[in-house]
Structures are given as structure tokens and as C-alpha cells.
Amino acid sequence: MKKILFVCVENAGRSQMAEAFARYYGQGKMEASSAGTMPTGEVNPTVVQVMHEKGIDISQSKPKLVAGKMVQEADMIIVMGCSAQGFCPAPLLNKVIDWGIEDPKGKPLEKVREIRDEIERKVRTLLGEPV
């Protein structure tokens, strides 16, 4: 089973949503995890709210620091935007994809919903599902 690692800076928004969608749609197809280069203390409450609207509860998720072992074990690494500061994918370029998704931090609810929907589309496409 493929292991996919989603990485962003704080692991409080984009990568948490991507991990949750990948677990939701990819059951039995892949293992998903997420981490940040500079994780914050909690998942963005607006992100928790917009995921709840999709019927996915990430309220118990905690931001994690990306670790070398996670990187080594991943079959594919998806960075949510090149602003994943401190993460240098150069030696792993064959398995790193940059989705270039806008950071939802500090954005209004409507914008966070748009970001969520973009991540959902990308995850479903990754899994080969109709969008």
C-alpha cells in the first residue's frame, strides 16, 4: 500500500485537510499522514469547521513535525505550497510534488472553503476517482 506524506509549514490547515481527505477516500488504497516544518500548537479552528461541513472530523488531530523517518518511508511526498520553509526536497525530487495551494491561515471562511474544495479535488484525482 502506498504511503503518502502531505507537508506544509504549520501542519494546521492544508496538509491536515489533505490527510483527512486521503484517509476518507483512500481507505484500503493508501496510507496518508501529514506533518509540518514548523508545526503550530493546534489545527486551525476554521479548517476544523469546514472539514466538519464535509462530514469529516479532524478536531482531535494534532500538528506534527516532519521527521526524517516519515520522509524516508513515504512513497510520495506532497508539499502543499513551496512555502514549506525548511523542507528541502532536492534529494527526493522523484517523489515530491508541489500542489502550490494557498495557506488558509487568517483567511475568511468562504476562502477556506475554496481551499478545502481544491484540496479535495486534488486528493480525489490522485486516487483516480471522478471529481
Give the DSSP H or E segment for 61: none
E strands present in 9-130? 30-36, 76-79, 96-98
Residue 80 is part of which domain span? 2-126
CATH number at residue 54: 3.40.50.2300
Examine residue 20 and state whether it is found in any structural domain, yes or no.
yes
- Give the integer Cα–Cα distance in Å for 63 and 35: 7
Q: pLDDT tens digits for 68-101?
A: 899 899 999 999 986 555 555 545 556 888 899 9
Examine residue 131 and state whether it is found in any structural domain, yes or no.
no
Examine residue 94 and state whether it is found in any structural domain, yes or no.
yes
- Give the integer Cα–Cα distance in Å for 46 and 76: 27
Q: Which residue has the higher pLDDT, 131 or 123?
A: 123
pLDDT in the model for residue 22: 97
The total domain count for the chain is 1
pLDDT in the model for residue 92: 53
- Give the integer Cα–Cα distance in Å for 131 and 113: 16
Coil, strand, or helix at residue 131?
A: coil
pLDDT for 127 beyond 70: yes
- Give the integer Cα–Cα distance in Å for 87 and 4: 16
Examine residue 66 and state whether it is found in any structural domain, yes or no.
yes
Q: pLDDT tens digits for 20-77?
A: 999 999 998 899 999 998 999 999 999 999 999 999 999 999 999 999 899 899 999 9
Cβ atoms of residues 71 and 43 within 8 Å: no
